[in-house]
Amino acid sequence: MGGVGGVEKLGRDTNLRPIPSLLTSNVKAEDGFFYNGSIGQEPDRVYTAGMCIPGSTSDDCSVCIKTSSDRLIKNCPKEVQAYSWTSEPTLCFVRYSKSSFLGSADLDPLELVYNTRDINSNVSEFTAIWEGLAARMIAAASTTKSTPSSSKNHYIADVAALTPFQNIYALMQCTPDISSRDCENCLRHPSCCGQKQGGVIMMPNCFFRWDLYAFSKAFDNITVSSPPSLQPSSVNGAGISNVRSLQFDFKVIEVATDRFGNKLGQGGFGEVFKGTLPNGTEVAVKRLSKTSAQGAQEFKNEVVVVAKLQHRNLVKLHGFCLEGEEKILVYEFVPNKSLDYFLFDPTKQGQLDWTQRYNIIGGITRGILYLHHDSRLTIIHRDLKASNILLDADMNPKIADFGMARIFGMDQTGDNTNRIVGTRGYMPPEYVLQGLFSMKSDVYSFGVLVLEIISGRQNIFVHHSDTTVENLVTYAWRLWRDGTPLELVDSTISKNCQIEEVTRCIHIALLCVQRDPADRPDLSTINLMITRSSLNLPRPQPPGFFFPNRRNQEQDGSESSYSTIRCSSQTIIDVTITDLEPR
């Protein structure tokens, strides 16, 4: 999430490209995960700052800072100031400005995002507990030591029990360069979101988020009540007890991973390590957080779902380990990391040519088709995104991370939920606003993913100073409407791609992100559209997307990744104009 600048633009000679490397090199644990500095000389000097919350690992902080600063520069390349709060894999902050901002408390622009679902029982008790928690946290955050070397740095994460089975989780962070009084004023400034199930408030100097689930690893060492026990039980009619033949002893996993010494990365609910089984098979070992209740549910779900699947475009589950507090999943090792590792890194995008990207689109299509129609079960993935597409040695895609998946009955076509899960930007409007999901939910996510593969851009909100909002989906629609769809194509492949294939894939993606789920094609049809170029495609309508306004965004559902950017004036895309074919 981010910041806004003035009408003035940066000078032609101003270079923002050193910012990512400057910040990733200098935002360090020994300095309290905070750094401020500048690049260039007057009149083209640019001031910048970066920060991660205390308790972050150095790797997570570097990834977050790099991702956030790259996005900021890509989306706001000539604005006089911009900022971004990013929540994955940790919470971090990046800001740059033509003017020095160190020590100044800025209360604007203010960004509010909240769950549209209200607390509908024991409202007075919830309000009292929530207000008490917020007051305690504001007092604690604004009185902690504020120096770059402080381990606190105007930061606090806390949990309050609502019932024996439900907690409120909250996190506050002010930038450490402002005074305690300014921090308190910043955190107390907004008034919103009372009696909502979750929300996040952001300004250039402070961040405040609360939810009814543990949305950050910051809560791993905060205990209010014991996490639920993980006994063999049923998940959508099938239980872990039915797949015991896949169970590993913990000692075997410990030896295979050299005592968890070769870390590959960090997932939403735990860490991933490389290992070698006694038979020589290389594996990826996903060790879930011991204190995450969501991790426990995800573990059961993933074992039950993936154990029943066999397809070349789905990651293979070799087994699991369930001993004491240990919850471990053992997958095939996929050497080329995930799609986002290449797709969204400016230095690696060129390694994916159009032929490879087209092959990846086709492989993802076949994998989802298997989940929806060709396996023994009907499975809705519910979290399709670039980071959940792994790439093997030949860059073939494998769909991973089935923790959010749902199994449908033979005649079941849809369902609804009170707990919204997934990643913001990939969620269809009927799911965000009403909790409704079906196979067409995965189709919408697939459409977004195809646009990302073609463009090399993430589907994030960009807020402009004229209060307008756009994202990749509406940008693609505008280009299509104006007859210039090829302007969407990643510049690293634009001169060496098959124009007919690219245009057709953009067309298919826009059909997948239609507002009405009934207007989106199913995976069988999508597969035919991709493999049969002679098949005529219907005209796409304006995309289905719920746009919040600048002052009052609504995010229906808590379990999502917040990532939005603010920068100064550009033009909003009109998503209501009649559709046209490209010229």
pLDDT, one tens digit per residue, over 561-571 is 444 455 543 22
Q: Which of 143-152, 183-192, 361-370, 474-483 has the lowest mean pLDDT?
A: 143-152
- Who wins on pLDDT, 256 or 225? 256
pLDDT score at 502: 96
The one catalytic residue in 60, 383, 401, 556 is 383
Q: Is this prediction's pTM over 0.85?
A: no
Distance of CA 428 to the CA centre of its chain: 15
Going by the DSSP 8-state scheme, the letter that residue 9 receives in this structure is: B
Cα separation, 470 vs 308, in Å, equals: 40
Read off the CATH number of the domain in which 155 is found: 3.30.430.20
Which of 304, 332, 360 is the last residue before a domain boundary? 332
- Who wins on pLDDT, 508 or 326? 508
Do 250 and 320 fall into the same domain?
Answer: yes
Are the beta carbons of 168 and 130 closer than 8 angstroms?
A: yes
pLDDT score at 545: 60
Do 378 and 457 fall into the same domain?
Answer: yes
Cα separation, 135 vs 156, in Å, equals: 12
- pLDDT confidence band for 185 (50 / 70 / 90): confident
Which of 219, 252, 275 is the last residue before a domain boundary? 219
Do 358 and 270 fall into the same domain?
Answer: no
Beta-bridge partner residues of 168: 160
Q: How many other CB atoms are found less than 10 A from the CB of residue 345?
A: 15
Query: Is 12 within a domain?
Result: no
Told to judge if 415 belongs to the known catalytic residues of this protein, a careful annotator would answer no
What is the distance between the terminal CA atoms of the chain, rounded to a whole angstrom? 35
The CA-atom distances, in angstroms, between 574 and each of 257, 297, 375, 546 are 52, 41, 40, 13
Read off the CATH number of the domain in which 310 is found: 3.30.200.20
Do 188 and 254 fall into the same domain?
Answer: no
Are the beta carbons of 382 and 375 closer than 8 angstroms?
A: no
- pLDDT above 50 (res 238): no
Do 295 and 354 fall into the same domain?
Answer: no
Do 324 and 380 fall into the same domain?
Answer: no
Do 455 and 550 fall into the same domain?
Answer: yes
Cα separation, 557 vs 404, in Å, equals: 14
pLDDT, one tens digit per residue, over 407-459 is 764 444 544 554 555 577 788 887 777 777 789 999 999 999 999 999 999 98
Query: Is 491 within a domain?
Result: yes
- pLDDT above 50 (res 355): yes
Query: Is 107 within a domain?
Result: no
Dihedral over alpha carbons 298, 301, 307, 309 (to 10 degrees): -100
286 is annotated as contributing to ligand binding: yes
Hey, which of 3-7, 13-17, 310-314 has the most confident mean pLDDT? 310-314
Do 50 and 128 fall into the same domain?
Answer: no
The range of the structural domain enclosing residue 299 comes to 234-332
Beta-bridge partner residues of 199: 114, 210
The CA-atom distances, in angstroms, between 264 and each of 124, 254, 282, 347 are 46, 15, 13, 20
Do 23 and 47 fall into the same domain?
Answer: yes
